[in-house]
Structure 1
């Protein structure tokens, strides 16, 4: 010990304030790049979905287990994607888009058939998947990356390029045929364009052009697609054929009343009157067994997820992040709206599953990957200097 150390005046050492549990937890979520509120609501939705799935699948535990495993994979994908920065996503936008288009062309040439449609690619012994699901992420990524590098609001030349970017995959998906997915993929990109600040007069012109193209769309629809539209207008015109699904689903929802018949007590579902009850029409099972109260609880949960997602999107500091995050959460809302609408009879049947409730692996992974992108955009916003 030196003499100077003895003669130096004594000063108390500063005591570090203890880190509170709240701050430690907040630091943990920030390091993981996850939003705890959004993640908690998604986990609650998945858990409730598994409860409904057990009944909708005919009390088959193996179906619920398979769905739970798929949810686990989807959560892992979300956690991994949340680690990527928006700059990395922007660099990968074009390769992801081109890969998606190449796979859609491969589906056209060598795709696997199923239920009268050619929508799948098969790697023998490994995986069977729908490339159109990839485009639900690659499309808004590409359009957001393109517009974020241009002056906003977009000019007509930029809108023409966006129309080309959107048109190629949408046409390829519609040819599979998969009209519902093609419209959802188009919507995910159109939301990016709308969020970019397109003028109202241009929106009006585009809406008029779309309305004028409806006869052409009708002429190019397959016979079963036309029957779906006609059945939507008059389900009783073919009650034992094309109208069967919507008649049984509305009957199941209506018979549930306010409080429902009780879990596992639905007649339309348990007696197998209701078709596709664990996939596209699972809302009918929910309405029959849990009634209006149960359906409203699910809808409120979906609404809270959408509101939280919109808040995270609004907090983004960069144009690319705002456009992409806003598009992803609005597309999630469209999923819910279209599925509930078609099952309740206010929209034509287009084969859109209820997000994170209907049985399916590829759609669950795609949706959770989208939420991973959303959380990554928000997490990296916090890491930027203020």
Structure 2
């Protein structure tokens, strides 16, 4: 333990000391990516702040303030909120399914319409799941985490929201929820034998699930991913146009505001799912590589922060938040490159969208809180069995 003011009783809770412990490198990188997103949304709109760039920038400014405020929150509050938050989010997903409050948009009934606001609980479910899993693992031994009958509880925590969200149907969010949960179990020390058995089970289940468990439009997306040229003007259109945008940028790109695929609106959902393709078209390989390097730097810094925590809850929760951020980048990048089916996963902080940005910023609020309170040790609680 160091001799810094943060470690001396009576000093560590001072606001001025806490502010110095925030990782400003991580904060700056988040600002850089959000700034690039704002610039790209301005370009896509033909050099206008409306309808996307101004709102994107204002949202980020407000959520940046919120993130820094959350960084000062003591881990005991995150720990205490874990199970209640998970339960509330499950209830919200159930309200979508079984009450008139459910609102359909984009072919999926995945919004909760409260009249004055619409909420997409599946986005926040990733946060609730990570916190709930982190609390469970905090209260159990390394042997339980590696392999025991008690793992039925975290498996159930993952499976319940996965099934409910997939049924909406929101396959992209369900996939990220499942992968995030699996990543947390892996980071917590799950046995390699279990991981291998799970991988084999997934490989065996996927083909029949694609053929018989998916809606027709979802199945078409998967089959189109395998052969987009089979329907170039229909289901294969999105991937083909994205590949054209990616390839036409070359090494240095066509120039800012000069991307024909986005400016002439050939590229679908260019402000959300396929904004990375616009970056590649206008700034080429160099611009795309630089952006991905920023994402990688964020992930590495966040993982380093998680490793410094003296609390098992802090380590697991911050690493889990980093994992779902990394999954956003990986899935969206693979999707726009034609390496994965189009499932509607945004590129974090780059794509336009309030719910996904809020999820990411709350997640990094927790990561920064772990950094600020890295010497805090939480008591072991019994929690779930």
| Same fold flag (TM > 0.5) | yes
* Aligned counterpart in structure 1 of residue 234 of structure 2, from 232, 237, 241: 241
Distance 1:94 1:163 in 2: 15
Q: What is the match of residue 69 of structure 1?
A: 58
- Partners of 1:180 and 1:350 within 8 A in 2: yes
| Matched ranges for 1:97-116 at <5 A | 97-109=86-98, 110=100, 111-116=102-107
* Aligned counterpart in structure 1 of residue 70 of structure 2, from 63, 68, 81: 81
- Partners of 1:147 and 1:196 within 8 A in 2: yes
Q: What is the match of residue 58 of structure 1?
A: 46
* Aligned counterpart in structure 2 of residue 170 of structure 1, from 162, 169, 181: 162
Q: Unaligned regions of 5+ residues in structure 2, if any?
A: 1-14, 378-385
For 2:364, what is the secondary structure of its paired residue?
A: helix
TM-score scaled by length of structure 2: 0.90
Which protein shows a greater Rg?
1
For 2:201, what is the secondary structure of its paired residue?
A: helix
Distance 1:303 1:96 in 2: 29
Q: What is the match of residue 3 of structure 2?
A: none
Q: What is the match of residue 7 of structure 2?
A: none
Does residue 292 of the first structure (1) align with residue 285 of the second (2)?
yes
For 1:230, what is the secondary structure of its paired residue?
A: helix
Distance 2:20 2:104 in 1: 40
Poorly superposed stretches of 4+, deviation over 4 Å = none
Distance 2:347 2:217 in 1: 22
**Distance apart, 1:32 and its partner CA:** 6.7
Does residue 304 of the first structure (1) align with residue 315 of the second (2)?
no
Does residue 195 of the first structure (1) align with residue 187 of the second (2)?
yes
- Partners of 1:147 and 1:158 within 8 A in 2: no
| Matched ranges for 1:142-181 at <5 A | 142-153=132-143, 154=145, 155-181=147-173
CA pair 251-319 structure 1, distance change in 2 beyond 3 A: same
Q: What is the match of residue 335 of structure 1?
A: 328
Q: What is the match of residue 16 of structure 1?
A: none
For 1:381, what is the secondary structure of its paired residue?
A: coil
Distance 1:161 1:283 in 2: 38
Cα displacement string for residues 243-264 of structure 1 (whole angstroms, at most 9, x for unaligned residues): 0000001001111110111011
Distance 1:42 1:382 in 2: 25
Cα displacement string for residues 27-47 of structure 1 (whole angstroms, at most 9, x for unaligned residues): 847337521111011111111
Count of matched residue pairs? 359
Q: What is the match of residue 130 of structure 2?
A: 140
- Partners of 2:180 and 2:324 within 8 A in 1: yes
**Distance apart, 1:267 and its partner CA:** 0.8
* Aligned counterpart in structure 2 of residue 92 of structure 1, from 81, 101, 125: 81
- Partners of 2:250 and 2:284 within 8 A in 1: yes
Distance 1:75 1:39 in 2: 8
Distance 1:161 1:76 in 2: 35
**Distance apart, 1:147 and its partner CA:** 1.4
Cα displacement string for residues 162-197 of structure 1 (whole angstroms, at most 9, x for unaligned residues): 111111111110011111101111222222211111
CA pair 29-35 structure 1, distance change in 2 beyond 3 A: farther
Distance 2:321 2:61 in 1: 21
For 1:120, what is the secondary structure of its paired residue?
A: strand
CA pair 33-96 structure 1, distance change in 2 beyond 3 A: farther
**Distance apart, 1:83 and its partner CA:** 2.1
Cα displacement string for residues 302-340 of structure 1 (whole angstroms, at most 9, x for unaligned residues): 111111111101111111111111111122111111111
Q: What is the match of residue 37 of structure 2?
A: 49
* Aligned counterpart in structure 2 of residue 38 of structure 1, from 26, 38, 43: 26
Q: What is the match of residue 122 of structure 1?
A: 113
- Partners of 1:77 and 1:365 within 8 A in 2: no
Distance 1:29 1:89 in 2: 20
**Distance apart, 1:160 and its partner CA:** 1.1
Q: Unaligned regions of 5+ residues in structure 1, if any?
A: 1-26
